[in-house]
Structure 1
Amino acid sequence: MLLALSWSETWPDRAVRTRRMVWVAVYLSAAVMLSAGTHARNLGQYIDRTEGWQTVLYFALFSAWCAATGVVITWASIRDVRAGDLRPSHRLTYVLILVVGVWAIEEAISILVSAVCAATGIGRAFVDFRFAANERNFIYLLLLGAIPASAQVMVEIARRLRMDPASRAVRHLTPLWMALMTVCAAEIPRPSQQDPAVGPERRLHRMTVEIRDCLLVLGRYSEQPPDDLPEALAEAVQIVQALRRKTSGATPGRHVRLHASAPGRDIVDERRTLRSIAAHWDEASAHVDGAGLLDGAR
């Protein structure tokens, strides 16, 4: 519950007070639930099936916590999904959290109804169904919980095998990065010492920044991209042409912003654009070489 409450932008202003109130409620309700469960323990049976007001009290507290948490995470998910401007993976995450929240609310209502039936001795079929569902749900929740719990292990295995997204992106961007840095290294600020133990995420971030810096340098040797080629290929050709002009010692001219260096929403957009350029790098180089031969440059 505290985790879900902390998603609110107003959380820093009320964190201490809310945290204290929640924990006090936790200890009080835990004590009451332990006391209410004494009747069923003395009878040697599950409280889910025990008649008496203690069952209703126990599951009223249980359902209150379950429903309150469900309401908080449901509202938080709906609020952020409605805010929009989310990546598909983030939207999917909120939808999954929303499912959990609705499930928690349904569980709270269903379990409380079952407790009332058990306490009054009516609706035995529903009580038996709810009892079996509780046991199954525990397994389902345990398995679902194991998925995110194991995610970091899977990420680490993929990283060690160099199959993680960052390592793959580094491999794809390396030819483009090497070509640009070979020509533009003098104008690009770099660390005096490279750390060989740096992880793929940091290496990818550094590589992305250096490629962007190179594109800014090449802007003074650039012309508009050809309009008779697909967009990604045209952007790659524009970069190759600027690179060749700088290599040949051409005089820098007015800065023309390379389309590939246009900023996106964030560095994720930037990497996606650069990977698209890198995928066409060899084709763009061949295109520029072929155009040069047709023009009689060689």
Structure 2
Amino acid sequence: MTTDTPARLLQLLSLLQTPREWPGGELADRLGVSRRTVRRDIDRLRELGYPVQASKGSDGGYRLVAGKAMPPLVLDDEEAVAIAVGLRAGAGHAVEGVDEASVRALAKLEQVLPSRLRHRLSTLQAATTPLTSGDGARIAPETLTVMASTVAGQERLRFAYRAKDGTESRRLTEPYRLVSTGRRWYLVAYDLEREDWRTFRVDRVRDPFATGARFTPREVPQGDAAEYLRKSIQRQQETYEFEVTFAASAEFVAGRFPAFFGRPVEAEGGAAGCSLRGVTGDPVEWLAVRLAMVGCEFTVQGPGELVEYVRQLGGRLTRAAGAGDAG
């Protein structure tokens, strides 16, 4: 029997967060209290903002439903470790769909993990090796979580940084946003010692340290961190323009192609399909494969190197499929 009311409420909440309806009698048995106490505890949860719905009937079933805002979740040990492992796996590379919000969630979760669960998580991570490592540089999840926590808390961040030419330096920054390009993570921040905005590849960052000093956010150039990063990359590396038309709507393509490259626009004059013009420094081989993964017919307008590689790739894939049929 759980006699401590706060502990009992947490246990009740944990049960209700399982997607099913709980008869009042079963909840009473699980908690070791009377049905009347269960009803009082349900009322307390409602007062705290949890949308608990009661169904009519002799047993008075209860279930947690979606509300206007998401209340705090209560996770058991296995659930917490499972979520942390999943977020860490995605955060280790700049995987599409794993954006700054996911990294912030990982930072919050790892901050409150008990030491026993931290040990389980570390042991599991050390004992497993992913079959694929992606096409971007590996990043320690701890690096991202420290950065994400300083971004969310508007806290100055100090770290060691290795430039493209191998030069090492120490940086003191006001971190603004973490941005994923689909292959790499970047930090957009204001460099206090250089008195200017900078972008940093996170895989080149070492020993990030949250200083505890708060700051008032400045206005980022271009008004958007992703747009500032796009312009910065164009200045720093050799890039090329590309143009592609798709036999699908702009909404379809936008949901399946990295937003970092820009937004597709619908074809003019009521014609079907859309087009996309972008600038990238990625190899044409990677871009060709990424275009094919959109999942619709497309035509590359330029540049010529990309057109030629898509033609060669299409031929190889066609021959490979034919060889399979022949076998």
Using the size of structure 2 for normalisation, the TM-score is 0.23
Flag the structure with higher strand content. 2
Using the size of structure 1 for normalisation, the TM-score is 0.25
Larger RCO, structures 1/2 (Cα 8 Å, 6+ apart): 1
